[in-house]
Structure 1
Amino acid sequence: MKTPYSQLRRQMLSILGLGALTGGMGGAGSAWAQAAAAGKKPAAAGPGGANWRFLINEAVGGDTNSFVLTNRYRPAADFITAQLKGRPIVVEPMVDIKRFMAVAQGASKPEFVFGKSVNQLAKLVRDNGYQPVVRRADPYKAAFIVAKDSPIKTLTDAADAKVIMPDEFAATSAVALAELRRQKLGQIRVTHVRFQEEVAQFVKSGMGQIGVVNPTIAKKWVEDGGRVVAETQPVVNWSILAGPGLAADMVQQLRDALMAANPESAAVMASMGVKAWAKAERKDYLDLLDYTRE
């Protein structure tokens, strides 16, 4: 009697150690998918059991392709494992900020986090026991942009203007609202759009009199003839955090390794779009939340 094809296939997969893939992409299957995306064999679990996790959020304006993001942060994950002589790391990119926060705040917290929405990272430090490791050395400042011929010269001229901001969970919006409050312009009309590029388009088309964007968009805006009328206060920038369960000496060891001037750490910075790291202090994040009142 012939063996049915489906049964034969299951037997072959079992022999090859790939049986977990027949049950969907959860658990070991998702680890296999991430490793396949990076063109590597799936990492075996390290000493003590499960792999470590590296949760990534590039904020709303970043890439949305999980394969691209997994590949981008694979060098950083491998660097961390090598420096700490730890477990293999599974990279978990999360595009949606709310989902990113839900996972980071969940019962099973990742060992490492990298994010660009620094106001959200600050909440993880203040409320959930995450340990600051390093931050981008340059501070973050959002810019208020207007059209070249706009009558608005300063923020105080914008009291009755329609202000366009990106996603309400973005750090750009949080610090912009903080600056408007500081300037006693808390009653200003605000409209949120999803992407930073949309903000510039709204202002260019006249659908908003003033817009709030990140430094990259602001630079291009000025190069194209627009104006920046104000900036927010400088705050802590993109950061790597360690989970609550990571030992303090391991956090220090990782910080020293990332800040060391060597080809390995330079390659990690380049892959993450960072020019230089600086030591991240808990106070940096508390100061940011004091500014934004979050």
Structure 2
Amino acid sequence: MKAVSYRSYGGPEVLEYGDLPKPKVGPDSVLVEVRAAAVNPVDWKAREGHLDGMLDPVFPVVPGWDVAGVVVGLGADTPEFREGDEVVGYVREDFLSRGTFAEYVAAPVRTLAPKPAGMSFEQAAGLPLAGLTAYQALRAARVGEGDTVLVHAAAGGVGSMAVQIARHLGARVVGTAGEHNHDFLRSLGAEPVTYGEGLAGRVRALAPGGVDAVLDFAGGGTIGTSPDVTAPGARLVSIVDPAVAALGGRLLWVRPDTAGLVALSRMAEQGVLTVEVAEVFPLEKTADAHRLSARGHTRGKIVVRVD
């Protein structure tokens, strides 16, 4: 099969496009013919070795954890799926090796769910990791009807989904973003504020009593502003900054979750949740997709199409 892989840590230049063996399928896995795979910041961070203390690499590593595709092979015990099923998945294992930037991936059934009807493969590929991160962060922060929630990096892949889901839950959303993304946030139902110096004052102007929850998808010390913008008893969640623990909050690492993916798929089918696709690259141009992701400030998802 054609795949993108790397044989050592390094910059995007270590990514190779070529032939690799088709993956073997375990008893509780299915073989997915990949139609699209989304790029996430964790992909290039892993490629650069930043996850080496957490996940062992088995070289050559095929990057990528997000996938949208079609089931073309079944393991010995996979009653959940049939050949021909269109699926989405957050296909993360506890080591780096068999990723989704390839023509095929062997995916444990616990990482998959049916693809949302009516959604393109490119859009669907952007749903699993970002959508589950947003969904699990909102659940961890116990966001619900009547809450005011502050979402940092609200125009990004994760943040934009968190805005939509929070609004669906009945929450008021204040979102940080550059001014060029403010109209986009308004279209999602959020009240935008510009990040940077004076942020706390701008948030307080919108929510004088403080916000009930803070979701940090930005990092860079942003969570440190929380005491100045929160109401008593506010819940804090960050996916990037361990300093959240010292403030009484939770550092969250997104987990594969079929039930969560099913919930996201239903929201997408109902028109509650959309996926903004920033740019689509062919598989052989994955290195360029990584470069674009590493620049930061991308609105929505960067996707690789596998033909």
**What TM-score results when the alignment is normalised by the length of structure 1?**
0.31
**What TM-score results when the alignment is normalised by the length of structure 2?**
0.30
- Relative contact order (C-alpha < 8 Å, sep 6+): which is higher? 1
Which protein shows a greater Rg? 1
Structure with a larger share of its residues in strand: 2
